[in-house]
Structure 1
């Protein structure tokens, strides 16, 4: 197995904009880096569960994955396009400051969001079916690779949250152009699912 290819794919898939990364960044910008920990913990738990389910789903339905992948890709693309347009249309943080100060993204919100996040579901299905299952079907290795993929994904969430906190003043000053750029990058990521 080519572990370097798996890690490279995982890093690219994890660090590109997605719902969890953008929420982690926005939440850290508004309420501080430490306040994102419950949300990111929920995302981590959801990610690990998805990776484990993906491992065994792929193992059971290995021969059918090429048939269902296009449908999953289209669903993921539509969901991410929806999120991109929501980000691009969002209003200024200054006008929503009071509302946002009341929002606290919890463990359960992070977990639930992760369970319906097509980017992570596709990430798990693709990484495990392409890079792991052709080489091993050992339960211990499936668990190990699920943990590895989860750690890479969570490092992306933490990085985005830290970036949101460190660049808070810049992001507040240029929020509208930044949201448009992030929305466009998310659109590009969504379109890459259906190529």
Structure 2
């Protein structure tokens, strides 16, 4: 891959990964509720899961949508349903006032990796990157696209996690934390508007 194309790919990956979307809203909420360290598996799951998804999209999964258009509709319905469920979980992540937090847990690496498959922004990013930067469909180009996404993902989602963690100082009151979680949940639901 020529250096100018690789540079353009790097910029594309950073911009598309660092801008608001379901992953970033979720790690921000996780950072606020659980801290940076407990959110590390979630962040790793995003990076690995998205890189693997991009690789599989590039090696032929994208053809399934062309051959069977109904699969795109099924994925859309599954994505909306799962994101609504996650929004509910985020909204209710804060413990009730006066009660200890015994049930809330951050997403595991596997859960975060699997989430990429129902994340509409992840699908858009993967398909766009493969179409633009691996147009020749060579395994090397597809691998480079997936690898660059995997590399830039951790620093980008880390920024959102740190922002959430810094908000913990303000969110010491359970009422404020609940309001923050409901706001993050509402933003996650709002991210579905282009999909619907």
What range describes the TM-score normalised by the shorter chain of this pair?
A: 0.7 to 0.9
Distance 1:145 1:193 in 2: 24
* 1:151-185 Cα shifts (integer Å, max 9, x gaps): 34333321121112222112334212212221111
Corresponding residue for residue 157 of structure 2: 157
Corresponding residue for residue 60 of structure 2: 57
DSSP 3-state at the match of 1:153: helix
**Aligned match of 2:88 in 56, 63, 85?**
85
Higher helix share: 1
Distance 1:51 1:60 in 2: 13
Contact kept, 8 Å, 2:27 with 2:160, in 1: the verdict is yes
* 1:134-167 Cα shifts (integer Å, max 9, x gaps): x221111101111222334333321121112222
Corresponding residue for residue 112 of structure 1: 111
Deviation at residue 189 of structure 1 after TM alignment: 1.0
If the length of structure 2 is used for normalisation, what is the TM-score? 0.72
The answer to whether structure 1 residue 24 and structure 2 residue 23 are counterparts is no
Distance 2:28 2:156 in 1: 10
5+ residue gaps, structure 1: none
Deviation at residue 76 of structure 1 after TM alignment: 0.9
Give the RMSD, CA atoms, in angstroms.
Answer: 3.5
**Aligned match of 2:194 in 189, 192, 195?**
192
Deviation at residue 10 of structure 1 after TM alignment: 6.8
Contact kept, 8 Å, 2:9 with 2:145, in 1: the verdict is no
Distance 1:112 1:167 in 2: 24
Corresponding residue for residue 169 of structure 1: 169
If the length of structure 1 is used for normalisation, what is the TM-score? 0.72
Deviation at residue 27 of structure 1 after TM alignment: 4.0
Contact kept, 8 Å, 1:22 with 1:160, in 2: the verdict is yes
